[in-house]
Amino acid sequence: METALAGLVGLFYAVAIYLMLSKHIIRVLLGIVIFGNAVNMTIFTAGRIVREVPPIIPAGAERIESVVANPLPQALILTAIVISFSFFAFLLVLAYRAYQELGTDDTDEMRVAEPEGESLPPLGY
């Protein structure tokens, strides 16, 4: 199970990185979404996958005797999902505003902050 998931995670990373290498913001954003999900699956797989047995101590017992699912990765993933979701919401708005203001989603043409052909500082006076 881990091996199959690891392969899937690798595929996710490949797709995400391919998309993020694009110079169009919209593809970069799609890449970021997949990247975020790839990370969540990485953590999930890294926590080892045990199905069927929930991590609950039976009544009367003091500790868990058998192998159970690890709850911590799920807590980590939940945190990461919330964070990446809020980031992505911000990025979507930012990209849309950038498209409105700059009239392009091509990063090569987004040169307002760093204009091309700026003059060198004066060499003397």
Partner 1 sequence: MAAPGATSIDTAAAHIAGATALADWLVIAPVALPILGGALLLMVRHRTRVHAVLAFLFLFASFLSSAFLLARVVSEGPLVMTMGRWLPPFGITFNADVLGATFATAATFVATVAAVFALRDINVTGRRYGFYSFLLLMVAGVDGAFLTGDIFNLYVWFEVFVISSFGLLVLGSERRQIDGATKYAVLNLVATTVFLITTGMLYGTFGTLNMADIARKAEGLRETGPLMTIATLYLLAFGMKAAAFPLNYWLPASYHTPRIVTSALFGGLLTKVGIYALLRTMMTLFPVEREVLSGLIGWIAVATMLLGILGALAQSDVRRIIGFVVISGIGVMLSGLALGTPLGVTGTILYAVHSILVMTALYLLAGLMHEAGGSYSLHETAGLYRSHPLLAAMALLLVLAAAGLPPLSGLWPKVMLVKASIESGAWWLASAILVSSILTVIALGRVFALSFWRMDAGETVERTDAERAISPGAGYGVLAALIVPAIAIGVYPEPFLRLAAAAAAGLADPASYLDAVFPPGGGS
User: Nearest approach, Cβ of 52 to partner 1 (angstroms)?
Assistant: 21
4: exposed, middle or buried (C-beta count within 10 Å: 0-12, 13-18, 19+)? Answer: exposed
- Which residues in the 38-67 window bind partner 1 by CB under 8 A? 38-39, 42-43, 45-48, 57, 59-60, 62
Q: Are 48 and 3 in contact (CB under 8 A)?
A: no
Residues 6+ apart with CB under 8 A from 57: 63, 64
23 binds partner 1 (CB under 8 A): no
Taking the complex as a whole, the smallest distance from the CB of residue 18 to partner 1 amounts, in Å, to 14
How far is 77 from 74, CA to CA, in rounded Å?
5
Residue ranges binding partner 1 (CB under 8 A)? 20, 25, 28, 32, 35-36, 38-39, 42-43, 45-48, 57, 59-60, 62, 72-73, 76, 79-80, 83-84, 86-87, 90-91, 94-95, 97-98, 101-102, 107, 110-114, 118-122, 125
